[in-house]
Amino acid sequence: MEFEAWWLLVPLGCFALGWFAARVDIAYVLRDARALPAAYFRGLNFLLREQHDKAVESFVDVSRRDPHALDLQLALGSLFRRQGRLGEATGIHQSLVDRHDLPKDKRELALFELAQDFHAAGIFDRAEAVYESLKGTSYESEAVTRLASVLEQEKAWEKAIAARQRIEQLSGEPQARYISQYHCELAEAALTSGNIDAVRTQLTAATEANRNSARVQLITFRAAMKAGDTAAAEAALQALMRVKPELVVLIAEDVVALYEKLGRPELGVERLAAAQSESTTTLGLSRLMDASLKIEGNSAALSRLKQALSRQPSAREAGRLLELESGNVDSGAGKTMLDTAKLLYRATDKVPGFHCGQCGFRAPRYYWKCPGCNAWESFRATPLGD
């Protein structure tokens, strides 16, 4: 009796199965399950082959099928940023941060990514705020390092000093050379606004961070010249000569003015010559020749020039040699020499006097922070003959 009753349930079961099959496209489910990982691995493959456009397409495809695939969305956002598609990257990361169901670690990662999007887009105030919000998370160390770079770009030197101190505490890596540069930036700003007390305070702090800072000596020299303190200026010049003689070229005209003021102009030329002999730079020779011609006269300048050019060539100063010698020959030859000198001046007019020792960026002026690679104090006066 019981066996027969069981058979009565069979048609009912078939009906239920038919009802279910009509509503669920089993073929679709199976295809989808297979397509998801395939697209994912296809994306990875493109990524490894550095075909970023195709990788993004594949990941967008997977992401569309499963909006909760967090890791994928995070990878996608990061890819967009690397491609310079900052609006799309920010969109993905902001939507993740706005979600309330996100696990803590994923939310922190999304915040870290979002801060980098703002940073890359140059929206510094927002980047700063998001990096700051990562305090106390596992991303704090990386976030504060990037924060320091944002603050440098904003020229927010006080905040940048605090950020570097935090980096030192978190990682144990010395940050003194950055801190010294930031104090020098503040000292220069104070010097421009005429706040001598602030200049002194900042220079003391810069020296505490870096005892061999050439920049501290340069600012000390300029501040002393501004205040008319010749003894302090001379002491700073001598300290600079010991630390980085090639940078004396940055204050060449002031050096001449200092010794003119002291009633010993020839000593100014000697100082420039001493700096040039320590580090023979193109611009250094030019400045030395300007000073020598002005103070020592043609014949002494000529002998200095011949001596320098016999050691290392300089197209610009070879022009000066021709110009100076043109008066000692007959007028026809003299004119040819003058014309050649002018050609050499014109050809070398735009030759930069400084370059970055790290990335090779060349510029006619000195930068404490390279505009090419953002390295601090990587600029060098270009050697004579280069």
Q: Which stretch binds Zn ion (CB under 5 A): 152-160, 283-291, 295-303, 349-357?
A: 349-357
Q: Which stretch binds Zn ion (CB under 5 A): 136-144, 214-222, 343-351, 363-371?
A: 363-371
Whose Cβ is closer to Zn ion: residue 30's or residue 373's?
Answer: 373
Whose Cβ is closer to Zn ion: residue 327's or residue 360's?
Answer: 360
Q: Which stretch binds Zn ion (CB under 5 A): 240-248, 264-272, 335-343, 371-379?
A: 371-379
361 lies in the site for Zn ion, by CB under 5 A: yes
Which position among 14, 38, 227, 373 is part of the footprint of Zn ion (CB under 5 A)?
Answer: 373
372 lies in the site for Zn ion, by CB under 5 A: yes
Q: Which stretch binds Zn ion (CB under 5 A): 101-109, 230-238, 257-265, 354-362?
A: 354-362
**Secondary structure of the chain as H, E, C letters:** CHHHHHHCCHHHHHHHHHHHHHHCCHHHHHHHHHHHHHHHHHHHHHHHCCCHHHHHHHHHHHHHHCCCCHHHHHHHHHHHHHCCCHHHHHHHHHHHHHCCCCCHHHHHHHHHHHHHHHHHHCCHHHHHHHHHHCCCCCCHHHHHHHHHHHHHHCCCHHHHHHHHHHHHHHHCCCCHHHHHHHHHHHHHHHHHCCCHHHHHHHHHHHHHHCCCCHHHHHHHHHHHHHHCCHHHHHHHHHHHHHHCHHHHHHHHHHHHHHHHHCCCHHHHHHHHHHHHHHCCEHHHHHHHHHHHHHHCCHHHHHHHHHHHHHHCCCHHHHHHHHHHHHHHCCHHHHHHHHHHHHHHHHHHCCCCCEEECCCCCEECCCCCECCCCCCECCEEECECCC
Q: Which stretch binds Zn ion (CB under 5 A): 46-54, 202-210, 298-306, 365-373?
A: 365-373
Whose Cβ is closer to Zn ion: residue 251's or residue 356's?
Answer: 356
Whose Cβ is closer to Zn ion: residue 59's or residue 178's?
Answer: 178
List the x/- string, 249-278, binding to Zn ion by CB under 5 A: ------------------------------
Shortest distance (Å) from residue 372 CB to Zn ion:
4
List the x/- string, 303-342, binding to Zn ion by CB under 5 A: ----------------------------------------
**Total residues binding Zn ion (CB under 5 A):** 7
Whose Cβ is closer to Zn ion: residue 129's or residue 373's?
Answer: 373
347 lies in the site for Zn ion, by CB under 5 A: no
370 lies in the site for Zn ion, by CB under 5 A: yes
List of residues contacting Zn ion (CB under 5 A): 356, 358-359, 361, 370, 372-373
